[in-house]
């Protein structure tokens, strides 16, 4: 089946709608995981990955792509991406069960900032003053968000030690997610999106299952249903997110990722009684602003590179 994109403004509106839907369902996924309570991270990763496979398979079957979805010449690349992705999910889910929902989701916004840093270090990409400045400002925002927990850590206080661990896990999750994003950048040059998504879900399920001997907990019926629901939400959200980027440019769609901050504040307050602190509101706003600036800067650089390529005369 040929992929089609909607033209012009109609395509952009479709993309934005799909993105907001995916963000909403991702927040629902995070809420279900938080509601399930503090469980072993590997156990949560398994449920999130394994049950995400079913909506993905249904989607691939609908598009008549199921028979070729696993075909790849780079299985090792997928496994490495899966390993890093599992680490990212484990850290992130641990943070979700230890922190208020707005804090956990907002701290994850450090990921696009770290992608810029890692792209410069590991890929040798040229990062100029504007983007470095945005990264520094964004990381200042991250420090503001986590300042109460960092204060506890430096003072040696035993109070709220679970929140301190949650902040450290959120940082670890953002770092691993940034590395995973760079690995995906490399894979997309030769692999289809469906192949990357399905390989990741299968690899993550197998790797998470290996944590079973390290102490999974017996789940209640409610906990099982919450985690299964989280898995289905994750798969559906991935499909919607992928579809969004087919209808418009990344720079048009990506800023709407930050609607999750508003949703997290509302859901956190209504469902869990989490009241966002001034640190979260101020620091989150700074991180969001830095992230949007980086996205817009990437778009501008892409347009400039496109003009430069058109300006080069043909040889011959």
Q: What three-state secondary structure class fits 215? A: coil
In whole angstroms, give the CA distance from residue 141 to residue 134.
Answer: 11
Q: What three-state secondary structure class fits 216? A: coil
* 5 DSSP assignment: -
Question: So what's the pLDDT on residue 222?
Answer: 96
Q: Which residue has the tokens 């670890």?
A: 172
In whole angstroms, give the CA distance from residue 48 to residue 46.
Answer: 5
Count of Cβ atoms closer than 10 Å to residue 28 Cβ: 18
Question: So what's the pLDDT on residue 54?
Answer: 94
Per-residue pLDDT of the chain in tens (316 residues, 90 and over written 9): 444 444 456 777 888 888 899 999 999 999 999 999 889 999 999 999 999 999 999 988 888 888 888 888 899 999 999 999 999 999 999 999 888 898 888 888 888 888 888 888 887 877 788 888 888 898 898 888 888 766 655 555 544 677 888 889 999 999 998 898 888 878 877 888 778 888 999 999 999 999 999 889 999 999 999 999 999 999 999 888 878 877 776 667 777 888 888 899 899 999 889 888 898 999 989 988 888 888 777 777 665 655 555 444 444 3
* Alpha helices (H) along the chain: 8-35, 41-50, 53-62, 75-98, 101-107, 110-122, 129-155, 161-187, 193-209, 221-247, 250-253, 259-272, 278-311
Question: So what's the pLDDT on residue 129?
Answer: 83
In whole angstroms, give the CA distance from residue 297 to residue 127.
Answer: 11
Residue 104: burial class (beta carbons within 10 Å; 0-12, 13-18, 19+): buried
In whole angstroms, give the CA distance from residue 171 to residue 164.
Answer: 11
Question: So what's the pLDDT on residue 5?
Answer: 45
Where along the chain do its domains lie? 8-308
In whole angstroms, give the CA distance from residue 287 to residue 144.
Answer: 10
Q: What three-state secondary structure class fits 15? A: helix
What SS3 string covers 165-209? HHHHHHHHHHHHHHHHHHHHHHHCCCCCHHHHHHHHHHHHHHHHH
Question: So what's the pLDDT on residue 2?
Answer: 43
């Amino acid at each position: 089946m040929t992929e089609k994109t909607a033209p012009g403004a109609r395509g952009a509106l479709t993309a934005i709608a799909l993105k907001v839907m995916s963000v909403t369902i991702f927040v629902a996924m995070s809420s279900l995981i938080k509601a399930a309570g503090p469980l072993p991270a590997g156990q949560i990763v398994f449920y999130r990955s394994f049950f995400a496979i079913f909506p993905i398979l249904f989607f691939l079957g609908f598009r008549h792509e199921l028979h070729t979805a696993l075909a790849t010449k780079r299985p090792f690349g997928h496994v490495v991406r899966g390993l890093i992705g599992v680490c990212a999910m484990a850290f992130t889910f641990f943070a979700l069960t230890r922190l208020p929902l707005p804090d956990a989701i907002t701290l994850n916004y450090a990921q696009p900032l770290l992608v810029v840093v890692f792209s410069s270090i590991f890929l040798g990409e040229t990062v100029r003053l504007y983007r470095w400045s945005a990264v520094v400002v964004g990381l200042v925002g991250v420090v503001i968000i986590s300042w109460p927990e960092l204060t506890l850590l430096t003072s040696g206080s035993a109070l709220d030690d679970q929140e301190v661990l949650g902040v450290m896990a959120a940082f670890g999750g953002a770092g691993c997610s940034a590395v995973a994003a760079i690995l995906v950048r490399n894979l997309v040059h030769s692999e289809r999106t469906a192949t990357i998504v399905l390989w990741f879900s299968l690899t993550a399920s197998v790797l998470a299952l290996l944590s079973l001997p390290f102490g999974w907990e017996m789940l209640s019926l409610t906990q099982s249903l919450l985690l299964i629901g989280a898995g289905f939400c994750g798969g559906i959200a991935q499909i919607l997110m992928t579809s969004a980027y087919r209808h418009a440019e990344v720079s048009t769609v990506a800023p709407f990722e930050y609607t999750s901050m508003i949703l997290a504040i509302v859901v956190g307050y209504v469902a869990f009684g989490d009241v966002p602190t001034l640190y979260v509101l101020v620091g989150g706003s700074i991180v969001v602003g830095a992230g949007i600036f980086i996205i817009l800067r990437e778009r501008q650089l892409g347009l400039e590179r496109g003009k430069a390529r058109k300006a080069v005369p043909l040889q011959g």
